[in-house]
Chain A
Amino acid sequence: MGPLLQVRGLRKAFDGHEVLRGIDADAEAGTVTVLIGPSGSGKTTVLRSLNVLEVPDAGSIRIGDVGLDFAPGHRVGKRAAARLRAQSGMVFQNHNLFPHLTVLGNVMEGPVVVQRRPREEARADALALLERVGLSDKAEQFPFQLSGGQQQRVGIARALAIRPELMLFDEPTSALDPELVGEVLAVMRDLATEGWTMVVVTHEMRFARQVADQVLFLDGGVIVERGAPSAVLEQPRQERTRRFLRLLGEAG
């Protein structure tokens, strides 16, 4: 049945400014794809397109058995968008937790309100997810009572709770104090080990080296270089990749 995620010819412009200029990418089930690139290169736009928070102008996205084609002037139906969106769970840079719901409420919201699963079952699942991200004792707290790292881990549990095929992470640690980064990356590592398919935008090169199956380097809305982390990060072939990694202080 081919790769779990298949992206072809993805294009997106904002006010005439082309942000994505033909993105092709595949991700096999159970693999981790790390997306790197300079600020403004379109990384967030790629993730948001996969989750249909942004509607691409052209191209196609398929996740599992749900696919969607985009074309200029062709409106994407709400239902079709929702069906593709349900295939992936999104973890935002600044978590976007629901501040008026408890931690448990945040995780249960999708399953109970949208998927209409029985409350008790959803509650048990949510508690198991919170245990998995190490936050069982925080279930009844409100998000504002948590540290940034804990909030981000709740964000991960909330995304997992809708039982997606694919997990998307948009710089999940870049808004965190340095001492909180590790706990979030540790959870993501566990997910990778458990076999989750993940697409991660991050500047954590150590994480990329250790966890990624493939690294995509995005610049100016195109994927300039791709391959195993050992290749892209240690022996980049493109000058643009080299320059970017040098700026990160990570040249191979």
Chain B
Amino acid sequence: MDAGTWELVRAALGPLLAGLVYGTIPLTAISFTAGLALALAVALMRLSGIAPLAAIARFYVSVIRGTPLLLQLFIIYYGLPSLGVTIDPFPSACIALTLNVGGYASEVVRAAILAVPKGQTEAALTVGMGYATTMRRIVLPQASRVAVPPLSNTLIALVKDTSLASTIQVTELLRKAQELAAPTFEFFALYGVAALYYWIVCLVLSFSQARVETRLNRYVAR
């Protein structure tokens, strides 16, 4: 790479960082938070023992897992307008990613809830708790220990999946790199910087995952 390329890379660092901070990270944060809430609701529906609720939940998970994320994104952004529903690029991406996270994470949450022994729910009953309190105080805290490792993988996958939003004009990191590279043909250098940024974010997340796991494991015999 010659001096001109380095100059270009240096000039791109700021704009790419902006793409990360104003595009990729909010997309990830919003979709993951909303996705987890959705996942919990879907998991509880499946575990409710109420047949229609469980069926709806199963159907939703099946559709999300059985179709490409890129297609889900296109259906919301390009498809819905033909039904008279037009949504801006950023919210469209948030919705698609949330639905996607909700589908995958619900299976994780469900398995984690099922991993909490039945005796725990019964002990909660005997001290007087109802369903919601038992979930909040007893089951979910214990389930989170089981769920955190796979959910961290979901989160890290999500960081990278937000790049798909570049296809519907959301200016996140990848889209920024494309915009900067196109007029200069310096694809290797600029995509390389973008890759580095994604990688750093994922490294930070892996590091935090380890810390959270240590914290959640403090009440378990080793």
Binding site for B on A (CB under 8 A): 51, 53, 78, 82, 85-86, 89-90, 92, 94, 96-101, 109-110, 113-115, 142-145, 158-159, 161-162
* CB within 8 Å of A: which B84-125 residues: 117, 119-120, 122-125
Query: B125–A113 contact, CB under 8 A?
Result: no
B219 interface residue (CB < 8 Å to A): yes
Contacts of B125 in A (CB 8 A): 53, 85
How far in angstroms is the closest Cβ of chain B from A44?
Answer: 12
User: Once bound together, how far apart are the Cα atoms of A115 and B145, in whole Å?
Assistant: 27
Query: A144–B129 contact, CB under 8 A?
Result: no
How far in angstroms is the closest Cβ of chain A from B108?
Answer: 19
Q: A96-B120, A100-B141, A100-B142 are in contact. Are A85 and B126 (CB under 8 A)?
A: yes
How far in angstroms is the closest Cβ of chain A from B218?
Answer: 8
User: Once bound together, how far apart are the Cα atoms of A109 and B128, in whole Å?
Assistant: 10
Contacts of A158 in B (CB 8 A): 123, 127
Contacts of A53 in B (CB 8 A): 122, 125-126
Which of the listed residues B122, B142, B145 has the most CB atoms from chain A within 10 Å of its own CB? B122
How many A-B pairs have beta carbons closer than 8 Å: the answer is: 64
Residue in B closest to A79 when the chains form the complex, CB atoms: B130
Contacts of B220 in A (CB 8 A): 99, 144
User: Once bound together, how far apart are the Cα atoms of A143 and B222, in whole Å?
Assistant: 13
Contacts of B167 in A (CB 8 A): none
User: Once bound together, how far apart are the Cα atoms of A41 and B21, in whole Å?
Assistant: 66
How far in angstroms is the closest Cβ of chain B from A104?
Answer: 13
Closest 8 pairs (CB-CB, A-B): A110-B127, A114-B128, A96-B123, A96-B119, A90-B126, A144-B221, A142-B219, A100-B141
How far in angstroms is the closest Cβ of chain B from A168?
Answer: 9
Binding site for A on B (CB under 8 A): 117, 119-120, 122-130, 133, 137-138, 141-142, 145, 218-221
> Among the listed A51, A89, A113, which residue makes an inter-chain contact with B129, where contact means beta carbons less than 8 Å apart?
A113
Q: A98-B138, A99-B219, A144-B221 are in contact. Are A89 and B123 (CB under 8 A)?
A: no
Query: A162–B128 contact, CB under 8 A?
Result: yes
User: Once bound together, how far apart are the Cα atoms of A109 and B145, in whole Å?
Assistant: 20
Contacts of B126 in A (CB 8 A): 51, 53, 85, 89-90, 159, 162
Contacts of A115 in B (CB 8 A): 128
Contacts of B128 in A (CB 8 A): 82, 85-86, 110, 114-115, 162
Residue in B closest to A102 when the chains form the complex, CB atoms: B219
Contacts of B137 in A (CB 8 A): 109, 113
User: Once bound together, how far apart are the Cα atoms of A109 and B126, in whole Å?
Assistant: 11
Which of the listed residues B119, B128, B133 has the most CB atoms from chain A within 10 Å of its own CB? B128
How far in angstroms is the closest Cβ of chain A from B173?
Answer: 38
> Among the listed A99, A109, A145, A161, which residue makes an inter-chain contact with B142, where contact means beta carbons less than 8 Å apart?
A99
Q: A82-B130, A113-B137 are in contact. Are A144 and B123 (CB under 8 A)?
A: no
Contacts of B127 in A (CB 8 A): 109-110, 114, 158-159, 161-162
How far in angstroms is the closest Cβ of chain B from A160?
Answer: 11
User: Once bound together, how far apart are the Cα atoms of A114 and B129, in whole Å?
Assistant: 6
Query: B142–A97 contact, CB under 8 A?
Result: no
How far in angstroms is the closest Cβ of chain A from B143?
Answer: 10
User: Once bound together, how far apart are the Cα atoms of A145 and B218, in whole Å?
Assistant: 11
